[in-house]
Amino acid sequence: MRLSKKGILLGVLLALLLVGGGVVWRVGFHNRGLNRDFDPARLAASETRMWQAYYTRNHTDLAMEMAALLREQMGVSLWTAREIIEPMARGAMIFAGDREGRREAEVLSELETAYARLGEAAGEDWDPRAAARAELAWWVARRTPGQNSPEQVGTLIAALYALLYGGTNAEILQAGVLRAQAAALRDAGGPNADWPAVERLLNESYAALRRGVGM
């Protein structure tokens, strides 16, 4: 099942507006900074629900889980999460419809905006352009035959982690590969994917990432 690009974007933005207006006063505008002691189980459960929401076209849950991931892993406020997700969603929608790579510059521009906002909120001085390129690299690999094995994609995810966390090691590389394996399992099953198995792989991935960034 595929969502229309316009439908996903409008749904995500509407849900974020509703969330922002309804509860932002209770959670505040405070950004806590990059969280290196995140809860792997919480992230895995949230990402699994986000992927499920994509297949069921539940735009509200999709937006909520995207925001939850950013808040737990990156320590941003709900308000900031909304500001990051908006350009990220636009970039993803452009990418989804650009099978020949003719609009790469537009995708990179949106991703760079997202990473610039994220870096500022998290108190990190990473290069948003480099982060945007690293993000796009694994998106492209996942849909390119010969470049889309979990090992290949996982290495690219780990390269993004290295930029965000300031270094790499075997645990961070393993985190990338496990996340790519979870994504491949999700893709193979679509809406009928083995979701408990997907979540287990994601839990292992985030546990490895937490060990890696704590070294």
> What would the pLDDT profile of 154-173 be if each residue is shown by its tens digit?
999 999 999 999 999 999 99
pLDDT of residue 147: 95
The DSSP 8-state label assigned to residue 1 in this structure reads -
Is 145 in a helix, a strand, or coil?
Answer: coil
Structure tokens at 195: 């979701």
Stated length of the chain = 215
Nearest Cα to Cα of residue 45 among 201, 208, 214, 211: 201
Structure tokens at 173: 């590389």
pLDDT of residue 48: 95
Of 4 and 22, the structure prediction assigns the larger pLDDT to: 4
Return the number of other C-beta atoms located less than 10 Å from residue 146's C-beta.
Answer: 7
